[in-house]
Chain A
Amino acid sequence: MHELSLMEGVLALIEVERRAQVFSRVRTVRLSVGALGHAEPEALRFCFDAVVSGTVADGATLEIDIVAGQGWCQGCERQVPLPERYAGCPICGSPSVRLTHGDELRLAELEVN
């Protein structure tokens, strides 16, 4: 359940932003989470309320944008969609695919007031 630690990471980043930019309340927390990454969106949601309870983000809405998997295939010499992380190129079958999207785990933006 490392999603709990990841959510604590969100809170730490919110505190950093709060020192730099004045706001009293976080209304929305928007994350970018890769479809092929190591965090489970449902587990992130599960932890969110518990982690932000009693903080500046108490009551905030969590929005998670899923970033689809994509990679650069050396065989095709172009970007290809990647439904699985370790399965190779779905078009030409080459194992030489470098993951370019789908591993994200970012705090994208905050809606505050």
Chain B
Amino acid sequence: MRYDTIIIGGGLSGLTAGITLAKAGQKVCIVSAGQSSLHFHSGSFDLLGYDADGEVVTHPLQAIADLKAEHPYSKIGISNIEHLASQAKTLLSEAGISVMGNYEQNHYRVTPLGTLKPAWLTTEGYAMIDGPERLPWKKVELLNIQGFMDFPTQFIAENLRMMGVECQIKTFTTDKLSTARQSPTEMRATNIAKVLANKDALSKVSERINAISGDPDALLLPAVLGFSNAESLDEMKQWIKKPVQYIATLPPSVSGVRTTILLKRLFAQAGGTLLVGDSATTGQFSGNHLVSITTDHLPDEKLYADHFILASGSFMSHGIRSNYAGVYEPVFKLDVDAAKKRDDWSVTNAFETQPYMEFGVHTDKDFHATKDGKNIENLYAIGSVLSGHNSIKHADGTGVSLLTALYVAKKITGKG
């Protein structure tokens, strides 16, 4: 089988690149192993939330200019960032993911613990805040489903109170939700979202909420609505008398699952091929050219393409692996940027900068991967598999995924 481009990895960066290339008329195949880091999504996308000193970034573009040369944004070049950032927002909205915010100025999202973190784009309907001193509410009600433990209301309430918001906690349930609770492992955000995908079940929820809510500036709900599209969020907006805003829950992330589904749908509409539940096992090289790959499900078949993109994620997604002896890229054995000695991979305090977070595939300035020191001319790496950035310390993970994907797609179509 031959494609113009084969992408390894069906997470945010792989799908973004796939959509862009397919829309440009390419024959694209994505090999996707399964869940991606979008399952831990906050409902917001970040460009750059903190600078090298850990200070909150208000104007991302300025702070990006100060990043070190190895950072993927530095390779993209500051002059390209603005354009790619607008393109990313357009692509999301085309997929049906409505987001608010802009690249010129960060806003804040509310974390599942009720603290604030800087963000670039936030899913419509989610709580979005200008700043810690500029909260949009004086008085809120925090509503939770009875028995849903992945929404720590006590923490959220306390943190909001510390920011001067009067916050009352209320819980509710419906027959459907009570039934779901019979199995103690059923009370997870995505499972609840599936139960509430049913319109009747959802209208019962809105009735309960209307019955118990008082007169706050806003009702804050766990983000457990909209498994495969945003319809239920729109319906709730109509049915509930008070303004409703959502706060992300502990994983699995409903907005992340929805984002994945919507991006996959757009990719399919653009004519792309998605190999689900399959993973690339090895590649066949000719000199500094990658000719084809073999996958787990099609061991006797080779998948050929002119271009290849590695978008396989970091350690947690197995795009980068480690063992007793070292850190490696498992499919092609590409060169990686990583400390040699195991003791240098991490530090004792979990909350300090962990060196391993920056380990990843080594690339040149155009994101070509290298193998045994040689550039592979038609193999690119994008997203979390890249070395040189730390999504925890900089809050730049989703931004790097989106922007490197768009940048490489442009390179491939010759428009970059």
Partners in one complex: no
Binding site for B on A (CB under 8 A): none
